[in-house]
Amino acid sequence: MVRYEIIMAGRGGQGMVLAGIILARAAALYCGYEVVQTQSYGAEARGGPSRSEVIISDEEILYTNVLNPDILVVMSQDALEKYEKIAKSGALIFFESRLVSPPTRIDVKKYGIPAYDIAEKEIGVLLVANMIMLGAMIAVTNIVSKEAVIAAITDMISEKHREINIVALERGIDYAKRYF
């Protein structure tokens, strides 16, 4: 049985909700999984907490809330502090290493990704750090294929911004393959 519970969280404007939607779309439409995706935002327009929850399964999903995630992808310290404690033992935690200190738990696997540094220095656009994080996560977990995520990006992102998001996804995949 395949079942992954994932929380992607950060601050409003970091694109974690979009990353969760793209992951869910890739899994449902291009990999044939059953998928539930939910999201929440803080009261602020930008800068408040934001979260996307994704459940991916090869069986019907009867309960749609993530209680103990298998995977965390976090881009803010407060997101790590909030969700690290509910992650399953053995969970995979992907964190943006410029903004977030490494998780303190010893029973999880930790993957620090310098997404903002890569976005700034290699791509020249900070807004694609979310796709770098998504790329690293799919490279390590193999939940969905790169091709499925690229198809989902193609569906969802305007033509003007599509290529840079795909480049960022590929940089995240490359980083994970090189260092993890």
CATH number at 100 reads 3.40.920.10
Tell me the C-alpha distance between 73 and 78, whole Å.
Answer: 12
Which percentage of the chain shows pLDDT scores above 90?
92
| Residue-level pLDDT at 49 | 85
Structural domain range at position 29:
3-179
| Residue-level pLDDT at 117 | 98
The secondary element (H helix, E strand) that includes residue 4 is strand 3-11
Q: Please state, as a whole number, how many other Cβ atoms lie within 10 Å of the Cβ of residue 133.
A: 33
Task: Give the CA distances from residue 133 to residues 2, 5, 14, 34, in Å, rounded to whole numbers and listed in that order.
Answer: 22, 17, 11, 23
Point out which residues pair with 111 in neighbouring strands.
94
Tell me the mean pLDDT in the region 90-101: 97
Domains identified in the chain, total number: 1
Tell me the mean pLDDT in the region 68-84: 97
| Residue-level pLDDT at 41 | 79
What's the pLDDT band for 46 if we cut at 50, 70, 90? low
Residue with tokens 């409003």: 12
pLDDT tens-digit map of 2-12: 999 999 999 98
What's the pLDDT band for 40 if we cut at 50, 70, 90? confident
pLDDT tens-digit map of 109-158: 999 999 999 999 999 999 999 999 999 999 999 999 999 999 999 999 99
Task: Give the CA distances from residue 44 to residues 13, 35, 54, 114, in Å, rounded to whole numbers and listed in that order.
Answer: 10, 28, 23, 26
Count of CA atoms in the C-beta half-sphere (13 A) of 15: 20
The amino acid present at 124, given as its one-letter code, is G
Tell me the mean pLDDT in the region 51-57: 97
Task: Give the CA distances from residue 16 to residues 81, 89, 119, in Å, rounded to whole numbers and listed in that order.
Answer: 16, 23, 15
The whole-model pTM stands at 0.96
pLDDT tens-digit map of 16-27: 999 999 999 999
